[in-house]
């Protein structure tokens, strides 16, 4: 019986080592980008996207937002949700067309930027969200690569925004 326990333990250690090795070989960086069309004009859409304090009213999983400083370049936005608190620093704020936010906590197992770009189109606006993400922990790289979509958060954001705007 002890022999079998040792085999099981060795197998588990080997599995952990294999996952770590695979994770170490996977790229740390990824890019995910999605466009979506909306009826509001660019200035109206930008106003909604940049009104971080109202995110809990319409964004799935955002229960509270704290804003440190005036909304604009340099402001710190803390989103509270099921994964804890994620702080973002606004690096670029160019109404009504562009926001770049960077995850501002180097102790997290992930980081990177979110870029929101708003363009005029024939029916209103187009919003393009681009995530330039980084996953530092090799175990989380394996999980994010094989079990989660890099587009999941962007897709949820776009679906929430469409719902807020009445399906536009």
For residue 23, the model assigns a pLDDT of 57
Report the pLDDT averaged over residues 119-138: 93
d(CA 136, CA 111): 8
56 CB burial (10 A radius; 0-12, 13-18, 19+): middle
| pTM listed for this prediction | 0.85
pLDDT interval class at 44 (50, 70, 90): very high
- Distances in Å between the alpha carbon of 160 and those of 19, 71, 145? 34, 22, 24
Cα 14 → chain centroid: 32
For residue 16, the model assigns a pLDDT of 65
pLDDT interval class at 151 (50, 70, 90): very high
Please check whether the domain covering 28-164 is classified as CATH 3.30.530.20: yes
Report the pLDDT averaged over residues 76-80: 98
Report the pLDDT averaged over residues 8-16: 71
Q: For 60-69, how does the pLDDT look when each residue is reduced to its tens digit (9 = 90+)?
A: 999 999 999 9
Half-sphere CA count of 29, side-chain side, radius 13 A: 5
> 96 preceded by cis ω (within 30°)?
yes
Domain boundary assignment for the chain: 28-164
CB 115 within 8 A of CB 31: no
pLDDT interval class at 22 (50, 70, 90): low
Q: For 99-127, how does the pLDDT look when each residue is reduced to its tens digit (9 = 90+)?
A: 999 999 999 989 999 999 999 999 899 99
pLDDT interval class at 71 (50, 70, 90): very high
Average pLDDT over the chain reads: 90
């Amino acid at each position: 019986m002890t022999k079998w326990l040792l085999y099981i333990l060795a197998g588990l250690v080997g599995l952990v080592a294999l996952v770590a090795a695979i994770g170490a070989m996977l790229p740390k960086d990824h890019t995910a980008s999605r466009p979506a069309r909306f009826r509001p004009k660019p200035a109206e859409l930008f106003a909604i996207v940049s009104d971080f304090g109202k995110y809990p009213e319409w964004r799935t999983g955002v229960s509270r937002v704290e804003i440190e400083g005036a909304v604009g370049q340099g402001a710190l936005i803390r989103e509270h949700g099921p994964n804890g608190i994620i702080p973002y620093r606004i690096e670029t704020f160019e109404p009504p067309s562009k926001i770049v936010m960077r995850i501002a906590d180097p102790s997290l197992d992930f980081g990177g930027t979110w870029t929101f770009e708003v363009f005029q189109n024939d029916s209103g606006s187009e919003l393009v969200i681009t995530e330039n993400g980084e996953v530092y922990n090799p175990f989380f790289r394996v999980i994010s690569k094989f079990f989660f979509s890099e587009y999941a958060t962007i897709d949820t954001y776009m679906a929430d925004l469409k719902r807020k705007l009445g399906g536009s």
